[in-house]
Chain A
Amino acid sequence: MNKKTIKVLVPAGALGIPFDKNALINGIKQKPDLIAIDGGSTDSGPYYLGSGESKYSYSATKRDWSILMEMRAKAKVPLLIGTAGTCGTKTSVEWMLKITKEIAKENKEKLKIVTLKTDLSNKFVLEKYKTGKIKPLEGAPKINEDIINNCTNIVALAGVEQIQKAINTNADIIISGRSTDTAIIASLPINHGLNIASAWHGAKIAECGALATNNPNSGVVLLEFDHNGFTITPMCKNTKATPQTVFAHMLYENADPYILFEPGGYLDVSNAKYKKHKKNSVRVEGSKWYNKKPYTLKIEGARLVGFQTISIVLIRDPNYIESIDKWIDKLKNSFYRKIKNSILVDVQLELRKIGRDATLGNLEPISIDINEVAVMAIFTANNQEKANDSAKLLNPDLLHLALTKNEPMPTFAFPFSPPEIDKGPLFEFCFHHVIEIDNPKEFFQLQFHKT
Chain B
Amino acid sequence: MDKFKSMLTKPWMSYLVALLAMGGAALTVSVVPRSLFAFLFFIGSVLLVYYLPLSTKAKLFFVLIGTLVLMPIIGSFNLYYMNVATQVGIYVALALGLNIVVGFAGLLDLGYVAFYATGAYIYAIFASDQAGNFIHFAKFPLAGEWFWVFLPLSLLAAGITGILLGLPALRLRGDYLAIVTLGFGEIIRIIFNNLDKPVNITNGPKGITPIQPPALFGFTLNKPIYYYFIVMGIVFFVIFVTRRLEHSRIGRAWAAIREDEVAARAMGIPLLRTKLMAFAIGASFAGMMGVVFAAKQTFIDPSSFTFMESIGVLAMVILGGMGSIPGAIVGATAVVMLQSQVLKSFSEFLAQLRDSGILNIPTQLEPAKFERLVFGLILVVMMIFRPQGLIPAKRREMELLEEKADRPAKGEES
A and B associate:
no
A residues lining the B interface (CB < 8 Å) = none
